Amino acid sequence: DTGVSQDPRHKITKRGQNVTFRCDPISEHNRLYWYRQTLGQGPEFLTYFQNEAQLEKSRLLSDRFSAERPKGSFSTLEIQRTEQGDSAMYLCASSLVSGSGYTFGSGTRLTVV
């Protein structure tokens, strides 16, 4: 197993454009999480899935953000009409339902210009 994979590693986009990130979790992990990390801060929880069901969304996840995990495997995070404040590192993590440990991916760094 290659761990949690995220694609792309870096994304530069113009304000107002839409972007989509992908996360491939560890194959046997039922849970998948998205976090956002800004410079000098710890990661902040955005949302998580158990299999294909989205079980919780943070208030940080505005209407412009949407996440899916259609077949309970990989997940996508889409940001519509990007703003400069969306510039951050977007981290994906996965775990077993038992919460025995969270494995993080390398993240996608988004820069909105």
Partner 1 sequence: SQELEQSPQSLIVQEGKNLTINCTSSKTLYGLYWYKQKYGEGLIFLMMLQKGGEEKSHEKITAKLDEKKQQSSLHITASQPSHAGIYLCGADRGGGKLTFGQGTILTVHP
Q: Assess 52 for contact with partner 1 (CB under 8 A).
A: no
Does 95 participate in binding partner 1 (rule CB under 8 A)? Answer: yes
25 part of the interface to partner 1, by CB under 8 A: no
Residue in the block written with tokens 């038992």: 98
37: tokens are 């990390």
Compute how many residues bind partner 1; rule: CB under 8 A: 27
Of 15-23, 37-45, 60-68, 70-78, which part binds partner 1 (CB under 8 A)? 37-45
Composition of the chain by helix, strand, coil, percent to 5: 5, 50, 50
